[in-house]
């Protein structure tokens, strides 16, 4: 099976994605890069995981009542992603913009597999996704992640802690088990797909310095010319 994310995408824009477990600080780093790029008058578009209106309510209801199987969740998230890709990622890439994606297909590759869905099945389901130009993985120890999350709120979310998997009656222990397994998948994914691993325990300023350096290197050869009508027609089936 041909997977689009195994080869460079054909669009003039640039796709930058960030991944990591909850509390890794990836969102903060992406937001800082967004402001930095906008400060240079770069055309930037931001998008995040599970943001399509198409199945958003179905996913929320399923989570609230814990009604859906891991495979059903996987299919719903893939549907959400397909809509997001078609309307919020591909169009700005065609227009020569820099797309910043807070979570991408690798989130499904890690979470769905940990919940028991077949690894290759998930990858094949997302075979239509385009390959990022830069894919960052913000790696952080479980205890650091947990401390960061609980510094902003008093308790963990049900699915965030993996409580639906019956790993432990204690949300904290369930979180440790669940997120540790996700970390293991992320390590595997980073090696398999060449994600750039960031030590997310470093100071925020240092992480941002490294992140900007990686983006700057890509910008040196970035020629964001929008597709002409002729080119759009020729790539309509890509």
Give CATH superfamily name and number for 13-220. P-loop containing nucleotide triphosphate hydrolases (3.40.50.300)
Which H helix or E strand runs over 139?
A: strand 134-139
Overall pTM surpassing 0.85 (yes/no):
yes
In angstroms, the CA 6 to CA 197 distance is 19
Express each pLDDT in 140-172 by its tens digit.
999 999 999 999 888 998 889 999 899 999 999
The reported pLDDT for the residue numbered 136 is 98
Express each pLDDT in 98-134 by its tens digit.
999 999 999 999 999 999 999 999 999 999 999 999 9
Q: Please give, one letter per residue, the 3-state secondary structure of 142-204.
A: HHHHHHHHHCCCCCCCCCCCCHHHCCCCCHHHHHHHHHHHHHHHHHHHHHHHCCEEEECCCCH
Task: Spell out the residues 6+ positions from residue 131 whose beta carbon is closer than 8 angstroms to its own.
Answer: 4, 5, 6, 7, 8, 9, 15
The reported pLDDT for the residue numbered 154 is 87
- Count Cβ atoms within 10 A of the Cβ of residue 138 and give its class: 0-12 exposed, 13-18 middle, 19 or more buried: buried
Answer yes or no: is pLDDT of 205 > 50: yes
Answer yes or no: is pLDDT of 176 > 80: yes
């Amino acid at each position: 099976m041909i997977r689009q994310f195994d080869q460079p995408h054909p669009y003039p824009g640039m796709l930058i994605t960030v991944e990591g477990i909850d509390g890794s600080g990836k969102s903060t780093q992406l937001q800082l890069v967004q402001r930095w790029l906008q400060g240079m008058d770069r055309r930037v578009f931001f998008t995040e995981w599970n943001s399509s209106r198409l199945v958003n309510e179905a996913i929320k209801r399923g989570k609230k009542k814990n009604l859906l199987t891991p495979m059903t969740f996987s299919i719903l998230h893939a549907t959400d992603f397909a809509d997001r890709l078609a309307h919020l990622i591909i169009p700005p890439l065609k227009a020569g913009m820099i797309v910043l994606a807070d979570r991408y297909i690798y989130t499904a590759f890690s979470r769905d597999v940990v919940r028991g869905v077949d690894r290759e099945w998930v990858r094949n389901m997302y075979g239509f996704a385009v390959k990022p130009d830069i894919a960052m993985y913000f790696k952080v120890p479980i205890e650091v992640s947990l401390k960061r999350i609980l510094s902003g709120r008093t308790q963990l979310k049900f699915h965030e802690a993996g409580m639906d998997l019956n790993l432990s009656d204690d949300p904290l222990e369930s979180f440790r088990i669940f997120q540790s397994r996700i970390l293991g998948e992320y390590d595997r994914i980073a090696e398999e797909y060449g994600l750039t691993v960031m030590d997310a325990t470093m100071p925020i300023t240092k992480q941002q310095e490294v992140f900007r350096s990686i983006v700057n290197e890509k910008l040196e050869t970035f020629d964001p010319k929008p597709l002409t009508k002729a080119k759009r027609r020729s790539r309509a089936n890509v």
